[in-house]
Structure 1
């Protein structure tokens, strides 16, 4: 029995990056031998065991064969005869197909170290094209390592293009897709993830609503970058630069979908795109079964982001309606995330990345003014039920009028 550290742990050590997760491969062992040594079995698909002390995962070396559609369409074969090289060849990228023993002796049959030094994301073998999830994974790695200068090898991008055209991407489950998308959005350069998906034709399949934004112009006076797709990438980039949480990044990606529906004869104006985009945002939310907080924020940002940009001009009644829509009295954090997404939208414009966004503090002040209206005096006056709600609304409106006058 031989045990090797494989995959990301080896890659990140060679890159000088922190190693978080460690994967282990066991060569020359049977499941019975693993059990006899106290390892605990997990997973029904292939033989993976938990270490009796550390709890880390140890997988028997295995080969795989395509047997159906999608990510799960594989038959695995694990036996003591499977070599380390045979196990490594089934992996996605050369930089993930390296192994090392307990003395840090490197096994690198597919030149992963060479590609690390050349900053190239390259597939290990033609079997890459059998697993559609790898399109998303490679795009995610491109987003993670873009800052180090990594790019996708042209021949790998071609395989990704073939996968995108094959219909295999449609076989991915919402859960698997969302896992990759959400991880990619939290990388340092999430806009690279979207760009790589677009470059290989996968964006058109997975998120046609986002793909449709590229080539759609906006008024140059407000958007010096003009192209709506490029603007979306810039907004996403800003969300990462400002360390925004996942829900904000998701909302940034989807906020302008309505502009993809504007008839060409109306370009570059996009009248009521906030409302026309809602059905598209809802469709993307449901397609990937995004978490509830991501879904809600994306819809609210889509509907109200222009309200935020025009915050200083809004009537007190419109401000109140906005605050009520967000339930700022019970869910103040969601309104904070809305403001953050709108600020990223404003900063995601060519040459305006450093411009201040006074609307943010103005909206926070408005929310504070509305929240500070006390309920107790109204109860003491005998208001209850729907009448109490109306009286509270009137007092909040008064507070917002006063806030506007003094702001």
Structure 2
């Protein structure tokens, strides 16, 4: 029995990055050998065990043979005659197909170390085409490291899309990879890779439709809506904002990608279409509720937030009410963050002031300071309570000083 560190831990050590998790491959052992040594089995689809003391994961060396559609369509073979190179050959990218022996020797049969130096993401072998999840992983690694995708690897991804493999991905797996990619340093790289191979049009057609849609040049020097959305997303990532804020930033302009009915006023068309498309996308991806709710809110309200300094106090009260800002102040803050990303995610706008956020926060605080209970107690006619509370909140917001709308 021989044990090797494999995959991401080896890659990250070579890159000088902190190693979060270590995975191990065991060569020359059987399930019975592992059980006899005190390892606890946890693998459902293939033999994985937890170390009896450290609880680290140890997997028997294995090979995989394609036996059906999608990422689950594989037959796994794990036995003592499977070599380390056999196990590494089934992996996705050369930079993830390296191993380190217990005495520190690097085993690199597919030249992953060279690809690290070249800053290139390259598939290990033709088996890459058998698992469509690998397209998403490839895109995610591009977002994490900023590496370029090898031409032949991108060609394989396009072939997988053309042959319909991507269409067999289950929503939960797609969301899991997208969520990880959104949390990388430059998430726009993930969507560039997906778009280049055609996968974005199959997985998120609402987003893919934004490229080529023009915007007013005076507000969007980058002109193209798809380019703008990627700038917005990267701005949100640069601030270290959480997943729901980044997803909302990604989805905020989906309504611009379709043609509205002729009878709809333009601004209403964008708002209604955007909400409908966000809801449809979230349903298809099985996005968690916090991401879904914030994305819908930002899609519906971001134009109103941008116009905050022009709004009357009663309109601000209505905006706070639609956003449930008094009961959910943290979510309201994330809404404002996503709107700030929209305002600053434009060519040359990264440092432009966004006083709307501070103003609306001050309005929220003022409205929250109204003692609704005391007002209710003072009303002889209980039917007047809602309007009395509303009027008190309007009065409170009137005391908030509007900041100057600066420009650069």
1:216 aligned onto 2:209: no
Q: Which residue of 2 aligns with 1:164?
A: 161
Distance 2:166 2:380 in 1: 58
Alignment-derived partner of residue 197 in structure 1:
194
**Quick check: 1:339–1:360 contact (8 Å CA) kept in 2?**
yes
* Secondary structure at 1:403 match in 2: coil
- Is the CA contact (8 Å cut-off) linking 1:259 and 1:270 kept in structure 2? no
C-alpha displacement at 1:384, in angstroms?
Answer: 8.2
Task: Say whether the 8 Å CA contact 1:383–1:391 is kept in structure 2.
Answer: no
Alpha-carbon distance in structure 2 between the residues aligned to 1:304 and 1:338: 9
Which of 354, 357, 379 lines up with 1:357 in the alignment?
Answer: 354
* CA distance, structure 2, for counterparts of residue 406 and residue 301 of structure 1: 23
For each residue in 1:113-140, what CA deviation from the matched residue of structure 2 results, as whole angstroms up to 9, or x when unmatched?
A: 1111111100000000000000000000
Shift in CA distance, 405/333, structure 1 to aligned 2, threshold 3 Å:
closer
Summarize the alignment of residues 101-120 of structure 1 with structure 2, pairs less than 5 Å apart: 101-120=101-120
CA apart distance, 1:391: 2.3
What do residues 54-90 of structure 1 show as CA deviations (whole Å, max 9, x unaligned)? 1011000000011111111111000000000000000
Distance 2:69 2:161 in 1: 13
Correspondent of 1:254 among 226, 251, 261: 251
Q: Distance in 1 between matches of 2:380 and 2:18?
A: 60
CA distance in 2, matches of 1:388, 1:72: 58
CA distance in 2, matches of 1:383, 1:398: 21
Which residue of structure 2 aligns with residue 135 of structure 1? 135
Q: What SS class does the counterpart of residue 277 from structure 1 fall into?
A: helix
CA distance in 1, matches of 2:50, 2:270: 52
Matches within 5 A, 1:2-401: 2-146=2-146, 150-262=147-259, 272-382=269-379, 387-401=384-398
- SS of the residue corresponding to residue 58 of structure 1 reads strand
Assess if the C-alpha contact under 8 Å between 1:115 and 1:122 holds in 2: yes
What's the TM-score, normalizing by structure 2? 0.95
Supply the distance in 1 between the matched residues of 2:402 and 2:355 (Cα, whole angstroms): 16
> Per-residue deviation at 1:171?
1.1
For 1:204-236, what per-residue CA distance to the aligned partner results, in whole angstroms no more than 9, with x for missing partners?
000000000000000001111100000001001
Gap runs ≥5 in structure 2 = none
Query: Hey, what's the Cα distance between the residues in 1 that align with 2:130 and 2:403?
Result: 64
Q: Distance in 1 between matches of 2:174 and 2:403?
A: 49
Query: TM-score, structure 1 length as denominator?
Result: 0.95
Alpha carbons 1:232, 1:256 under 8 Å: kept: yes
User: CA–CA distance in 2 between the matches of 1:178 and 1:2?
Assistant: 36
Give the Cα separation in 2 of the matches to 1:315 and 1:264: 30
Shift of 1:270: 6.1
Q: Point out the more displaced range, 396-405 or 108-117.
A: 396-405
Q: Is residue 355–residue 403 contact of structure 2 (8 Å, CA) maintained in 1?
A: no
Q: 1:381 to 1:158 in 2, by over 3 A?
A: same
Q: Measure how far apart 1:398 and its partner are.
A: 2.0
CA drift at 1:389: 2.9
Identify if the C-alpha distance between structure 1 residues 197 and 86 changes in structure 2 by more than 3 Å, giving closer, same or farther: same
2: CA distance, partners of 1:379 / 1:11:
64
C-alpha spacing 1:206/1:383, structure 2 compared with 1 (3 Å):
farther
